[in-house]
Amino acid sequence: MTFRLQVLGCGDAFSSGGRLHTCFLLSGETNGNGLSPTLLDCGATSLTAMKARGIEPAAVRTILITHLHGDHFGGLPFLLSDAHYRARRTAPLTLAGPPGLRERLRQATEALYPGSSRRESAFDVEFLELHEHRPAAVNGLRVTPFEVVHPSGAPSYALRVEYGGRTLAFSGDTEWTEALVEAAAGADLFICECNSYDRPIPNHLNYRELLTRRHLFDCRRMLLTHLGDDMVDRRCLEIEALAEGRIYNI
């Protein structure tokens, strides 16, 4: 059994340190069956990230979205445009995320490329709304959302993603909330946002508060992401941070 995460982007909204917006590629195999390529978040720079790493965007079958901010879902209009005009995609695509994803994506697509949201598509896009605490079966994955504290015009989630007996938990963006403890409980890998070192930033976490609460997370391994300027140059952190391009076994 394998369940792998490749980091395509782990930056914050401002691409601090030159990092790309949040985008993780999940892949795996269990009992001889492969997990179809899945993205966890698709920030504005994700199409660039995929092409830079030699990943064919049209091969992605499923995209999970934590919340409706541009650095987490803003890559979708570009990915859909690439699928339509360049890849001439015919395979279906599943987009799973908070209620309101379909309409926000339509608005974003229309703002960037007027008329494009009404174009005829040769492939089906299935929208799947995720609801707080309700596990959903999404193309071979079990996905459970936990609502976090991060205003985005729709519920913002931490996601628990299970496959082949392994569990990945991802905080999405949030300030401190007990929901993170629940989302990370028993996880093999917990990826947590950490936007600043000790400076409180509204609706985000900082390293100092995570360190004081590290013992609350019952996870096998914890890694940080979404680092701001004052975090990217820090070395010798007690909690390791994700590195772009790296592959992690979950």
Q: Does 173 participate in binding Zn ion (rule CB under 5 A)? A: yes
Nearer to Zn ion, 115 or 202 (CB): 202
- Minimum distance from residue 150 beta carbon to Zn ion (Å): 6
- Minimum distance from residue 227 beta carbon to Zn ion (Å): 11
- Minimum distance from residue 67 beta carbon to Zn ion (Å): 6
Extract long-range pairs of 195-199: CB within 8 Å, 24+ residues apart: 195/12, 195/226, 195/227, 195/228, 195/231, 196/228, 196/230, 196/231, 197/230, 197/231, 197/234, 199/230
Nearer to Zn ion, 83 or 191 (CB): 191
Where helices occur in 62-206 by DSSP H, the ranges are 70-73, 76-85, 101-112, 179-184
- Minimum distance from residue 205 beta carbon to Zn ion (Å): 11
Half-sphere exposure of residue 123: CA atoms within 13 angstroms, side-chain side: 23
- Binding pattern to Zn ion, positions 1-40, x when CB under 5 A? ------------x---------------------------
Interatomic CA distance for residues 4 and 141, integer angstroms? 13
Nearer to Zn ion, 14 or 85 (CB): 14
| Cα separation values, 31 from 26, 38, 46, Å | 17, 18, 30
Nearer to Zn ion, 70 or 164 (CB): 70
Nearer to Zn ion, 12 or 162 (CB): 12
Binder to Zn ion among 71, 147, 175, 244 (CB under 5 A)? 71
Nearer to Zn ion, 69 or 166 (CB): 69
Interface with Zn ion (CB under 5 A), residue total 4
Binder to Zn ion among 69, 89, 160, 204 (CB under 5 A)? 69
Interatomic CA distance for residues 138 and 32, integer angstroms? 19
Residues at the interface with Zn ion (CB under 5 A): 13, 69, 71, 173
